[in-house]
A and B are shown apart, each in its own frame.
Chain A
Amino acid sequence: DIQMTQSPSSLPASVGDTVTITCQASQDIKNYLNWYQKKPGKAPRLLVYDASNLETGVSSKFSGSGSGTDFTLTITSLQPEDFATYYCQQYDNLPITFGQGTRLEIK
């Protein structure tokens, strides 16, 4: 199975900050990498697909980059509604695997 490792696991930040979350795959997954936002009691929301493509309707404050094994999600100008847990997910091979999540919390 392809292991996805996110860092950090927890990220304290303030409103207005810009933050970057990283995701590393245990093997080359090309650009087969997606990012999701998850809030308690809500369904996950697709933010970025194929490493760098913004999902329709998602704010341009979110951006993704990377290929191969190393990927990043950057969120600019943090607002209160952005504080959530973020997951990367690979689909190069089955089983589909997710990172362990990065909890973005208010400092």
Chain B
Amino acid sequence: EVQLVETGGGLVQPGGSLGLSCAVSGFKVSNNYVAWVRQAPGKGLEWVSLIYSGGNTVYAESVKGRFTTSRHTSRNEVYLQMDSLRTDDTAVYFCARARVGARLQASQLDYWGQGTVVTVSS
């Protein structure tokens, strides 16, 4: 059974840092793409980042240079390190497995965690 569990959310002041973890079971992060997606209060879904099976990463412009996605293959975990946090980073953060499309792009997000809440406030 596939399961993703996010941890690490909490309250942080603007300008601060927070690290999220996504513990995966049922598939290997080393062979799959994993995305982070967030939902701000009352808003829609926003893609944040993607880590490819080869370990390369891509980011949304809104977080580029501030957020870093990494993984630990032996622990089968993916991480989102969030620095220089802003109030508009307040959201529920989800990790999700991304299927691989015909052009090796991330396609469908088929398995999701339940999310972890990040609140950026003074």
Shortest CB–CB separation between residue A4 and chain B, in angstroms?
10
In the complex, the chain B residue whose C-beta lies closest to that of A38 is: B45
A49 B108 Cβ-Cβ under 8 A: yes
Size class of the contact patch on chain B = 20 to 34
Q: Is the interface of B mostly helix, strand, loop or mixed?
A: strand
Q: Is the interface of A mostly helix, strand, loop or mixed?
A: loop
Which residues of B29-55 are within 8 A (CB) of A?
A: 35, 37, 39, 44-47, 50
In the complex, the chain A residue whose C-beta lies closest to that of B45 is: A98
Interface residue from A32, A43, A99 paired with B107 (Cβ < 8 Å): A32
Task: Please name the 8 residue pairs, one residue from A and one from B, whose CB atoms are nearest each other, closest first.
Answer: A43-B112, A96-B47, A98-B45, A101-B44, A49-B108, A91-B107, A100-B44, A34-B108
Residues of A within 8 A of B (CB): 32, 34, 36, 38, 42-46, 49-50, 55, 87, 89, 91-92, 94-101
Known: A34-B109, A36-B109, A91-B105. 17 other contacts (CB 8 A): A34-B107, A36-B45, A42-B114, A44-B94, A44-B109, A45-B112, A46-B109, A46-B110, A49-B108, A91-B106, A91-B107, A91-B108, A94-B105, A96-B35, A96-B47, A98-B44, A98-B46
